[in-house]
Amino acid sequence: MSVADATMPEARTPVPLEEEPMVRRPVEGEVHVHYGQIYVESDPDTYGPDLAEAFAGQSAGLCGAATPGALWLNTGLHTGDVGFTVEVYEQPPPLDPAWEDVVEVSFRPASADSALVQWAGEDSWRLDLEETDYRVRYCAQGMDRASAEDTRLDDEPQLDRYLLQFWPAPPEPDRILKQTSRTAAYWHGYARRQPPPPTPAERAEAERRARLAQETAERERLLAFERWQWGGQLPSQALRAVGGNVRGLR
């Protein structure tokens, strides 16, 4: 049989390997926590979220996202170093089943200056998030063990670790994807007991009243200083118009 007569095997179409999603890791290693908390902040005009406001209206209690431009992240350890990684994706990443507790929330940075921030601003790491809507997944492992130990000293082994993932996605309600620890169950219960967050109109009205109160307080302060300058009595408009050092002409 000639080579030409030989039956050639049918060519197979190569099966493409599944591509790993592109990821950026602005934080990887250990971070220090106090009071079992750490934050994501992006509004330069505010000083971190408030606990109750952060979880207002949520069912998931590990990652509070109700305060615009901020995230409140709970840890099992009260004080010490925890393992912490932040990942930023272009599409939803797969969920590693090894994580014991997992929640998802929606988040939109208030500015381009987003950062992971330790308690009282002791340290921070830039995240370089765009001003767009993100889905956030917060994963935890070892919360109960760390909560029981309470504090980790420098020469002690790691007790708990966390993964915070971001990817662009439209807003949707928060969700509990997995619950294993008693610590996570406690915080989920705490979140469900919080009242709903204020509406945008209610928030705007509260901010307007706060500005008015600040302006009124400033006017009162200036008037009190002027009254002191004039010996305890404010001058008439005519006396004000004279100008110069006329405090003795009252």
Strand partners, 115: 41, 126
- Farthest-apart Cα atoms in the chain, separation: 129
Q: How far apart are CA 137 and CA 177, in angstroms?
A: 9
For residues 85 and 165, membership in a common domain is answered with yes
pLDDT score of 49: 87
User: Are 37 and 137 in a shared domain?
Assistant: yes
Residues 154 and 230 both lie in one domain: no
* 177 shares a domain with 159: yes
- 85 burial (CB, 10 Å; 0-12 / 13-18 / 19+) is middle
Parallel/antiparallel/unpaired status of strands 161-168 and 80-89: parallel
Joined together, the tokens standing for residue 186 give: 């406690």
For residues 109 and 220, state if they share a domain.
Answer: no
Predicted local distance difference test score (pLDDT) of residue 243: 60
Report the pLDDT value the prediction gives residue 15, as an integer from 0 to 100: 45
pLDDT profile of the chain (250 residues), mean per 10: 50 54 94 98 86 95 96 98 98 97 98 94 94 99 98 96 98 98 98 85 75 85 80 73 58
pLDDT at site 245: 57
Residue 86, domain CATH: 2.60.34.30
Nearest-angstrom CA–CA distance, 122 and 179:
30
Let me know if residue 181 belongs to a domain.
yes
Residues with Cβ within 8 Å of residue 34, at least 6 apart in sequence: 78, 79, 118, 119, 120, 122
User: For residue 246, is it within any domain?
Assistant: no
Domain that holds residue 191: 23-196
C-alpha span between 222 and 197 (Å, rounded): 36
Give the C-alpha separation, 112 to 127, whole Å.
9
Examine the domain organization and report whether 132 and 175 are in the same domain.
Answer: yes
Residues 181 and 205 reside in one and the same domain: no
What is the rounded CA–CA span in Å between residue 65 and residue 47?
A: 15
- Quote the pLDDT of residue 221: 85
| pLDDT of res. 66 | 95
Does residue 1 form part of some domain?
no
Does the residue 179 lie in any domain? yes
Residue 59 sits in the same domain as residue 126: yes
